[in-house]
C-alpha cells in the first residue's frame, strides 16, 4: 500500500512538472490599458513589464482593431477597462498558439491606424505600447483591412507616419526644463499701452519674476529667451527652447485692442486655423514681426519646413492644451479672464515640434486699468505665482495621463 501511494505521488509530481514545463514562457506581461479620446481619434496605451513584439491590424465584418502580441502574457483585467470614448468599444483577450496572444477591440466607427510605437520606461511608467487610430471613411477603412496592412515592430504601414515619440527625461529626480520667452524686444516694442508703456518692457519684467519664483521651487531648470532689451526672431526663440531640451515653453505677451474696454487674460496654443477672427488677426500681427528683422517668412529652411511638418504631432498639441487648461484653472482663482480663455492661433513662436508650448496674453495694455495693474510689481508677482501653480499642476497631472 505504501509502495502504491509512493508511486501515485511520484506520478502526480511528474505530471505537475510536465505541465509546468509545457506552459509557454512569457518574458513579461501587459498589465494595464488606457484609452484617450481625441477630436476624431483615439490613443490606446498598454502598460507592460517589458518590451515585446506586436502586430496591429484591422479586420472587417464586424469592424475590429486587432493587436497580436508575442512573448508576453496579457492580464485579463484589461477587459474591464471603462475609459469612455466613441471609437473603440469592448475589448477581448484570447490565445492563439504558443506564446502568442490576441487583443481585439470592437470598433464603433471605421478607422485607419496612424501609428504604433513602444515607449521605454520613463518617469513613473514602465514599458508602454501606444496605438493611434483616426476616424476614416468606409472606403479608407476597407483599403486598410487585413494583416497585409499591419503595423508592427520595425515594420510600418506605408501610409503610417513613423514619428519619434516625444522626448522625455528618464530620471525621475531630474529637474524639468522650462523656457520663458519675454515677447518682443529691441526695435520691436510690441503693443503700446494706454499711457505709452511698451509691451516689451512688461513682458521682460514678468518673465524675470516668473523665473525667480520657479527657481525658488527648486525642481526646475529655467531659461529665458532674452534677459535684456534685445530683438530675437520668432523662430530663433523656438530654437532656444529646443536647444535647452525644454519640457515646457511659455511665451509672455500683453495684448491691445481698439476697444479700450477689452480686458482679461487669455492663453493660446497652436492651430494652423485660428479659433476666431480676433485670434487670427493677433497671430498675423505677431508673426509679421519676423519681417522687421529682414526675415522672409516664405523663404524657410529645410529645418523650419521640417518643423512645420512635425506640427502634426498630436502629442505636443495635446500637452500644450493640457498646460493651457492648467493655466486657466489656476489663473481664474486670482485674475480676470476673458471668455473662451483657451484660444487657438498659428503663432510662429509656438511651432516647436516636440516642446509643449503656450502663449500667455497677460491682459490688455490698451485698457487703462489693466495697463496700470500690469505695470505693478505686486500684480506681476500674483500672475507669476498662479503660473507656477499651473506648471506644478501640469507636471503632476502628466504623471497620471497617457500623454506621457
Q: Is 85 helix (H, G, I), strand (E, B) or coil?
A: coil
Banded pLDDT at 169 (limits 50, 70, 90): very low
**DSSP structure string for 95-117:** E-STTEEEEEEEESS-EEEEEEE
The mean-pLDDT minimum among 83-97, 267-281, 289-303 falls in 289-303
> Is the pLDDT assigned to residue 120 strictly greater than 70?
yes
- CA-based nearest residue to 351, from 238, 263, 210: 238
Sheet holding 72-74, edge to edge: 72-74, 28-37, 41-48, 127-135, 111-119
Q: How far apart are the first and last CA of the chain?
A: 64
Domain boundaries, the chain: 28-152, 176-398
Per the prediction, the chain carries an average pLDDT of 80
> Is the pLDDT assigned to residue 295 strictly greater than 50?
no
Indicate the burial class of 236 (C-beta count within 10 angstroms; 0-12, 13-18, 19 or more). Answer: middle
Please, where are the H alpha helices in 147-256? Answer: 199-217, 234-243
β partners of residue 105: 65, 91
In this predicted model, what pLDDT tens digit does every residue of 385-403 receive, in sequence order? 999 999 999 998 876 554 4
Contacts of 84 (CB under 8 A, 6+ apart): 37
The reported pLDDT for the residue numbered 278 is 54
In this predicted model, what pLDDT tens digit does every residue of 103-112 receive, in sequence order? 999 999 999 9
> Is the pLDDT assigned to residue 274 strictly greater than 60?
no
The reported pLDDT for the residue numbered 68 is 93
Instruction: Tell me which architecture the domain covering 28-152 has in CATH.
Output: Sandwich (2.60)
Q: Provide the grid cell at 352.
A: 516647436
Instruction: Tell me which architecture the domain covering 176-398 has in CATH.
Output: 3-Layer(aba) Sandwich (3.40)
Percent of the chain residues topping a pLDDT of 70: 75
Tell which phi-psi region holds residue 65, choosing left (phi > 0), alpha (psi between -120 and 50) or beta: beta
In this predicted model, what pLDDT tens digit does every residue of 364-381 receive, in sequence order? 999 999 999 999 999 999
Output the CA–CA distances (angstroms, integers) from residue 250 to 91, 95, 184, 203, 396, in the order listed: 40, 48, 14, 11, 18
The reported pLDDT for the residue numbered 287 is 58
Amino acid at each position: 500500500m505504501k509502495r502504491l501511494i509512493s508511486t501515485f505521488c511520484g506520478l502526480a509530481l511528474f505530471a505537475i512538472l510536465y505541465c509546468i514545463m509545457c506552459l509557454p514562457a512569457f518574458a513579461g506581461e501587459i498589465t494595464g490599458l488606457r484609452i484617450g479620446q481625441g477630436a476624431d481619434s483615439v490613443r490606446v496605451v498598454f502598460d507592460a513589464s517589458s518590451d515585446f513584439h506586436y502586430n496591429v491590424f484591422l479586420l472587417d465584418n464586424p469592424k475590429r482593431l486587432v493587436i497580436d502580441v508575442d512573448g508576453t502574457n496579457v492580464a485579463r483585467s484589461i477587459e474591464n477597462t471603462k475609459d469612455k470614448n466613441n471609437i473603440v468599444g469592448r475589448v477581448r483577450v484570447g490565445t492563439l498558439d504558443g506564446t502568442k496572444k490576441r487583443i481585439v477591440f470592437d470598433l464603433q466607427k471605421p478607422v485607419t491606424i496612424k501609428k504604433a510605437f513602444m515607449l521605454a520606461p520613463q518617469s513613473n511608467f514602465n514599458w508602454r505600447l501606444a496605438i493611434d487610430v483616426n476616424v476614416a471613411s468606409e472606403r479608407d477603412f476597407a483599403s486598410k483591412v487585413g494583416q497585409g496592412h499591419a503595423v508592427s515592430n520595425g515594420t510600418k504601414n506605408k501610409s503610417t507616419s513613423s514619428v519619434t515619440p516625444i522626448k522625455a527625461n528618464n530620471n525621475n529626480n531630474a529637474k524639468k526644463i522650462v523656457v520663458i520667452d519675454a515677447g518682443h524686444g529691441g526695435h520691436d516694442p510690441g503693443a503700446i499701452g494706454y499711457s505709452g508703456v511698451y509691451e516689451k518692457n512688461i513682458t521682460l519684467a514678468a518673465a524675470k519674476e516668473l523665473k525667480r519664483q520657479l527657481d525658488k521651487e527648486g525642481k526646475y531648470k529655467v531659461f529665458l529667451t532674452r534677459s535684456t532689451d534685445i530683438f530675437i526672431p520668432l523662430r530663433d526663440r523656438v530654437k532656444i527652447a529646443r536647444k535647452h531640451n525644454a519640457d515646457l515653453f511659455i511665451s509672455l505677451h500683453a495684448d491691445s485692442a481698439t476697444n479700450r474696454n477689452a480686458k482679461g487674460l487669455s492663453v493660446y496654443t497652436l492651430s494652423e486655423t485660428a479659433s476666431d477672427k480676433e485670434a487670427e488677426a493677433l497671430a498675423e500681427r505677431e508673426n509679421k514681426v519676423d519681417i522687421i528683422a529682414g526675415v522672409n517668412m516664405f523663404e524657410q529652411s529645410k529645418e523650419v519646413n521640417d518643423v512645420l511638418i512635425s506640427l502634426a504631432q498630436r502629442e505636443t498639441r495635446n500637452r500644450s492644451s493640457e498646460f493651457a487648461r492648467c493655466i486657466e484653472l489656476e489663473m481664474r482663482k486670482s485674475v480676470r479672464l476673458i471668455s473662451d480663455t483657451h484660444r487657438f492661433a498659428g503663432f510662429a513662436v509656438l511651432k516647436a515640434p516636440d516642446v509643449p508650448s503656450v502663449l500667455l496674453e497677460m491682459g490688455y495694455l490698451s485698457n487703462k486699468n489693466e495697463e496700470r495693474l500690469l505695470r505693478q510689481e505686486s500684480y506681476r508677482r500674483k500672475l507669476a505665482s498662479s503660473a507656477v501653480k499651473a506648471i506644478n499642476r501640469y507636471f503632476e497631472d502628466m504623471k497620471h495621463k497617457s500623454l506621457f
